[in-house]
Structure 1
């Protein structure tokens, strides 16, 4: 799970980043609203933690811009403002939840997990055909057979299982798995898809990763799924 932190208090932003990473999340921090909006528009994050009082663009403006682009990424808004009117303004701008500073780290984590569950992002496993992807062990499971996946194999398989029969482009996989600033190319995606195909066969899965020219990849299974 990738989380974007938009917070101008650098110490707080970096502390949040470290805390989230210690819980198994990937996290990036930016320190002004203009940069935050640019990052959010990449649409590669599972959650955005957004402060209101930011330089260049405030959190309300960032949230409105994100929602105007039909980006549905959950937004957890952080602020020192506790007035009801401020909370209403934040929710109207597109925030999903509002957390007032100062807050307890446990409270923040509970909010993060609740928002991810609401999006269907934080679940114990994904399934397609006769095969399950265990999110905790990063394993593909078919009946009594299982195989562990590397970190990138896991992320590629997770995205494919979430999309199912819908196409996932190579560009999307590159951005979400390797990162927008990576030097990885489409051959990297093809190599990891090849690894996954072999692992699916090794456990007797009926799931196939099919490629469609210019559209990317989707899942099919031998029996009707």
Structure 2
């Protein structure tokens, strides 16, 4: 598996590269966002690791540009910016996971394996349309509608709603959502899952009298048609 590392700190980049190569991966380094963009778009990688604060093109804009060309490639952001707002911005840009520096390489490796397992193991058992009441999601075209009106979702909002629709009628804890949608351990010191639930709720429920997304205090969230 070939991985691209976009990191301007040479020491950090080489440590990641060495750790990946010891695990049997091929790893290439780009030391600024512009070179990273060219490599990501023109070469074949199975996963991208990028810092946010980069010369020439920052990681947020870089992630958006890569996503516009290669929507399915897994992207992990590494950064010293650990606030909830920073994480939300990273996920909104299209990142699949977000790891705050300093980090243990073992944790990075676990997250890489989780993302690759998810990507290689994806399958809908032939089902391409999910429906709950008048909410409909097409997994092939990535189009979501309610009462035949299209709803525009970010990639992470789409994944969150997809998981909730696949588990319709079941209470989902924040821990489960973090593990299944973000492939990460839930950090009780942040509220980014609540932030995303609110984003999706506004888009799915705000203009409709029948609400589909419900909060179960102390337990989590549930999507159901009442």
Q: TM-score, normalized by length of structure 2?
A: 0.52
In the alignment, what sits opposite 1:7? 7
In the alignment, what sits opposite 2:109? 109
Write the deviation string for residues 176-221 of structure 1: whole angstroms up to 9, x where unpaired: xxxxxxxxxxxxxxxxxxxxxxxxxxxxxxxxxxxxxxxxxxxxxx
CA distance in structure 1 between the aligned counterparts of 2:108 and 2:70, rounded to whole angstroms: 25
Provide the secondary structure at the position in 2 that maps to 1:98.
strand
The question of 1:83 aligning with 2:80 is answered no
RMSD between aligned residues = 1.1
- Any conservation in 1 of the 2:79–2:99 contact (CA below 8 Å)? yes
- Any conservation in 2 of the 1:41–1:71 contact (CA below 8 Å)? no
In the alignment, what sits opposite 2:19? 19
Provide the secondary structure at the position in 2 that maps to 1:8.
coil
CA distance in structure 1 between the aligned counterparts of 2:21 and 2:70, rounded to whole angstroms: 28
The question of 1:55 aligning with 2:55 is answered yes
Where structure 1 has 5 or more consecutive residues not aligned to the other structure, the ranges are 122-225
In the alignment, what sits opposite 1:120? 120
Residue 15 of structure 1 and its aligned partner are, at CA, apart by: 1.0
In the alignment, what sits opposite 2:31? 31
Provide the secondary structure at the position in 1 that maps to 2:42.
coil
Write the deviation string for residues 78-128 of structure 1: whole angstroms up to 9, x where unpaired: 00000000000000001000000000111011011111111117xxxxxxx
Residue 71 of structure 1 and its aligned partner are, at CA, apart by: 3.5
Q: Which has the larger radius of gyration?
A: 1
In the alignment, what sits opposite 1:98? 98
Residue 68 of structure 1 and its aligned partner are, at CA, apart by: 1.3
CA distance in structure 2 between the aligned counterparts of 1:42 and 1:23, rounded to whole angstroms: 25
In the alignment, what sits opposite 1:74? 74
In the alignment, what sits opposite 1:199? none
CA distance in structure 2 between the aligned counterparts of 1:48 and 1:67, rounded to whole angstroms: 11
Provide the secondary structure at the position in 2 that maps to 1:41.
helix
Where structure 2 has 5 or more consecutive residues not aligned to the other structure, the ranges are 122-226
Paired positions, count: 121
Residue 43 of structure 1 and its aligned partner are, at CA, apart by: 4.6
In the alignment, what sits opposite 1:145? none
- Any conservation in 2 of the 1:7–1:13 contact (CA below 8 Å)? yes
CA distance in structure 2 between the aligned counterparts of 1:118 and 1:43, rounded to whole angstroms: 22
Provide the secondary structure at the position in 2 that maps to 1:48.
strand
CA distance in structure 2 between the aligned counterparts of 1:42 and 1:119, rounded to whole angstroms: 21
- Any conservation in 2 of the 1:78–1:101 contact (CA below 8 Å)? yes
CA distance in structure 2 between the aligned counterparts of 1:120 and 1:43, rounded to whole angstroms: 19
